[in-house]
Amino acid sequence: MKAIITHKKESYSIDLSKPLDISIPLRGDTTNVNAWYTEPPKITPHTEGEFVGKVTEGASTNFNDIWFNPHAHGTHTECVGHITEEFHSVNKNLKKYFFLASVITIAPEKKQEDFVISKKQLQYALKNFVGDALVIRTLPNLKDKMSRKYSNSNPPYLLEDAVNYLVELGVEHLLVDLPSIDKEKDGGELLGHNAFWNTTGTLRKQATITEFIFVGNVIKDGLYFLNLQVAPFENDASPSRPVLYKIKE
C-alpha cells in the first residue's frame, strides 16, 4: 500500500506495507532493558481469591496484570511534563503523528570520564537537515541495547549546546537509543531536557523526546517518514512505537 504525504508543499511517496519498527518490546522478566535503578517489569496473571487469569490454570481467558515504568523499561515518548511542576500529558501535547525525520549515526566522543554527543558532531551530521524529527543511532550499535542494564553505567548523553543546536534547527521530535539525553547522575540539572523544552522561556509543549529506541543496522542514515504513536496514557510519558518508512524516489 502506497501513500503520498505532503510536507511543507513537498510531496513524498512511502510504502506503508514496509514499516521499520525502531521500538524495543516490553517483556515481563529480567531480560527486559532496564534503567534508573528499578526492578524488572512484571507481566503476571491476575489473581483474585481462587481465580488465576491463565487458561492453563483453568481460566477461560489469559488476563494479565502489567507493572512497568515507562521511563525505565523500554521505548517511551515524553513531553515537557517530565520536568515541570505543572502537569502536562504527552497524550494531550502530541497532536500529530507523521513527521519527516532524519536518521543519523554518531559515535559519542570521550570527554573526561564521559562519552558525549557534541554540537560539533551534530553540525557535521546535519549539514543539510530537513524535517521535524531527528533519530540518533549511537555506535557501537549492538543488539544488547534491547536488554542492557543501564543503572550505574554512566551511558552517553547529549551536551547542552548540542541540544540547543537541535532546537535552533527546528527539531521538534528527538529520538535516541539511550536511556536519557542527559547524564545519568547530574545532580538533577537535566540540562538537555531543559534546553529542548525551553523551560526558561516559552515552553515547547508540542516537542517530544523519545528514548530507548533501537535502530537496526539494516536501516541506513537518511530521510524517512516517522509514524510516532503513543499509548493514550494521561501521563508525562507513555510507551510508544516509532515506525519509519522509506521515502520512495
What does the domain layout of the chain look like in residue ranges? Answer: 2-26+73-248
Q: Say which CATH architecture domain 2-26+73-248 belongs to.
A: 3-Layer(bba) Sandwich (3.50)
pTM for the whole structure: 0.96
Q: What's the pLDDT at 188?
A: 96
Closest by Cα among 96, 94, 25 to 236: 94
Q: What's the pLDDT at 83?
A: 98
The C-alpha cell of 86 is what?
505543572
Cβ atoms 236, 13 nearer than 8 A: no
Q: What's the pLDDT at 9?
A: 76
Give the Cα separation of 189 and 193 in Å (integer): 9
Cβ-Cβ contacts under 8 Å for 31 (sequence gap 6 or more): 147
CA 19, 174, 179, 86 dihedral sign is negative
Q: How far is CA 42 from CA 38, 46, 57, in A?
A: 12, 11, 19
pLDDT in tens, the chain (249 residues): 778 888 877 888 999 999 999 999 999 999 999 999 999 999 999 999 999 999 999 999 999 999 999 999 999 999 999 999 999 999 999 999 999 999 999 999 999 999 999 999 999 999 989 999 999 999 999 999 999 999 999 999 999 999 999 999 999 999 999 999 999 999 999 999 999 999 999 999 999 999 999 999 999 999 999 999 999 999 999 999 999 999 987
The residues that bridge with 229 in the sheet, in sequence order, are 241
Backbone angles phi, psi at 102, to 5 degrees: -105, 135
